Amino acid sequence: MKLYGFPPSPNTWKVRALAAHLDIPLEFEMVDLTQGDQRTPGFLALNPAGRTPVLVDGDFALWESEAILQYLAGLRPTPLWPENAQMRADIMRWQSWRLAHWGKDACEPLVFERVVKRFMDLGLPDEAAVATAMAAFEREATVLDGHLATRPFLVGDGPTIAEFSVASMLFMAEMADLPLAPYPNIRAWFARAAALPGWAETAPPAAEAA
């Protein structure tokens, strides 16, 4: 299997981390987003949306990183993706929340305004966009912190692919100045999630240095 991705992106990193955790070998091909590799005809043939990561398994090309997590975890039995309809729906709930709210409304705009813009020389942060994202962060982090007040992991008693999904953005917390101080349960859970085997082995160079 081959993964096309951009190592510093949390969406690529979480997929590589899960594959390493599950001992699934992945050939890796760099799609350099800073050079526009995602808009080449070859890459658009794999993902017409022009986004990373993309997993290719034989003639099956799969884009959208949350679907890729489920696919990898479904290749062989693992407690990270239990064969139980309610637990799978519960995991999917957190993956959906991560996509629609935690990522899209809160973490991603802060990472874009405070990290990507600086890195790509795109100008100063848009303070109105930062304020909107900070309000979303407070709203969503309150939900996550409350959920984690009475349990060590998002679903059930042990880690699942929900940890790989939701925790991935928080590796950017320091760089993007994500305001985690008021949320002790998130910080304790993130320490547990980040200690899972897989992340360290696949860390992008900047994260290793951090």
Q: By CB under 6 A, name the binding residues for ligand GSH.
A: 6, 9, 11, 33, 38, 50-52, 64-66
Q: In 3-state terms, the chain is what percent helix, strand and coil (to 5)?
A: 60, 10, 35
Shortest distance, position 68 Cβ to ligand GSH, whole Å:
7
Of 136 and 183, nearer to ligand GSH (C-beta) is: 136
Shortest distance, position 7 Cβ to ligand GSH, whole Å:
11
List the structure tokens of 96. Answer: 């959906």
Q: Which amino acid does the sequence have at 81?
A: W
CA–CA separation, 135 and 169 (whole Å): 17
DSSP code per residue over 83-118: S-HHHHHHHHHHHHHIIIIIIIIIIHHHHIIIIIHH
Of 20 and 55, nearer to ligand GSH (C-beta) is: 55
Of 100 and 188, nearer to ligand GSH (C-beta) is: 100
Shortest distance, position 42 Cβ to ligand GSH, whole Å:
15
Distance of CA 97 to the CA centre of its chain: 12
Shortest distance, position 50 Cβ to ligand GSH, whole Å:
5
Of 66 and 145, nearer to ligand GSH (C-beta) is: 66
